[in-house]
Amino acid sequence: MDTIDKINDIRLYLQNTFKERTDVIEGLLTALVAQVHVLLIGAPGTAKSAITVTLASLIEGFEYYQWLMTKFTTPEELFGPYDLQKLKAGAYERMTDGRLPVAHMAYLDELFKANSAILNALLTLINERIFYNGTKKETSPLQTLIGTSNEYPQEEELQALFDRFLLRYEPGYIKEDGNFAAMLMHSSEQPPAPITAMELEQLQQESSRVSVESHVVDAIVTLRADLVQEGIVLSDRRWVQVTKRLLPARAVLAGRRHIVIEEDAEILQHVLWEDPSQKATVAMIVRKRLDPVAGQVSELLEDARDIANTAMKASDEQAVSLGTEAIKKLKSIRSEVQACIGAGGTPAKRQKIQEADAKIEEFLKGVTRKCLGI
């Protein structure tokens, strides 16, 4: 089986298992190929750990490390205890087997509760993949670190760590009643064939060979100017990672050897902000500048979801009237989405629009059944 086919099977398995987590799943898969880090901010019980553990289990030959951080977490817990035999000889070397310095993929829960004794070592490890073990400078195989927190960091000393996470998501609780019911009724399905560490490495190498053409650079330059006009100024390092790591990884995962900016750049709405208050502005600019049709479809789909959810929660007395009005609005929205299908674009782009159309049709059927009893 082709590696991309395996990735697609893993993606579908995760999406079926973890409802309304498509963006997070795409982010994690992209991060593995781009070898960048992911931050998940959100309330407890939003499947942050479960998704990561499940994904890690589908990569053969990967060392996985997970730890819950507190202000009392010690360096020994993360990096390993000192080797007592060497300590007697005056060498301060840690035994790192099974610890963070030798992990390919790691999950640190409540990351921002780490104390200052750990912060500097973490920064060097996740940014440079280097661990200073006594007098030795050891290279870490770490490819992707997933950090989680219930809240954003406020302390100035944590901002450098926050900046090291290229992708940032806020997974919330499940919104749609149908997805919520599916979660409650979900029974474990047969996991897909895993990918191997070697296959993942091949994808990473392919990503490094994707050329960044001049029209892609032009689009990024223009996008940066749009953000600056809104007062959103990002580091040069972040822009380099976007252009040379993230976009090539998206292309490779799509089975391409070149970047298609209107398809690959959608993920940038989870990258190009520093403060949560900037998220909506960034999403709007990314969609408007790089793929206005996809942005329009995304907004229409969100409107349809809100309309359907409101109708589905109507009382018995209001069900018919609210349901009838909701059906009228949903049909109108669906017509707009279907018009976008005929607007052209790549096959992958048309497929996404068709998936949105199918989802709105699902909303229509649900409202009709619940509110009108048909």
Residue 251 lies in a domain: yes
Same domain, 87 and 13: yes
Same domain, 279 and 309: no
- 29/242 Cα distance (integer angstroms): 15
CATH number, domain of 25, equals 3.40.50.300
Same domain, 298 and 278: no
Same domain, 93 and 17: yes
Same domain, 237 and 89: no
Span 81-138, pLDDT tens digits: 988 888 887 778 889 899 999 999 999 999 998 887 788 788 889 989 999 988 889 9
SS3 338: helix
Q: Comparing C-alpha atoms, which of 153, 140, 155 is closest to residue 111? A: 153
Same domain, 125 and 255: no
pTM of the model: 0.85
pLDDT score recorded for residue 332: 92
Residue 197 lies in a domain: no
Residue 314 lies in a domain: yes
Of 244, 261, 290, the last residue of a domain is 290
**Domain extent at residue 223:** 209-290
Span 314-341, pLDDT tens digits: 888 888 888 899 999 999 999 998 888 7
Domain count, the chain: 3
Residue 94 lies in a domain: yes
- 131/128 Cα distance (integer angstroms): 9
Q: Which helix (H) or strand (E) holds 138?
A: strand 136-139
Same domain, 55 and 175: yes
Of 236, 258, 290, the last residue of a domain is 290
Residue 190 lies in a domain: no
Residue 98 CA, distance from chain mean position: 26
Q: What is the mean pLDDT of the chain?
A: 90
Of 290, 317, 342, the last residue of a domain is 290
Same domain, 55 and 90: yes
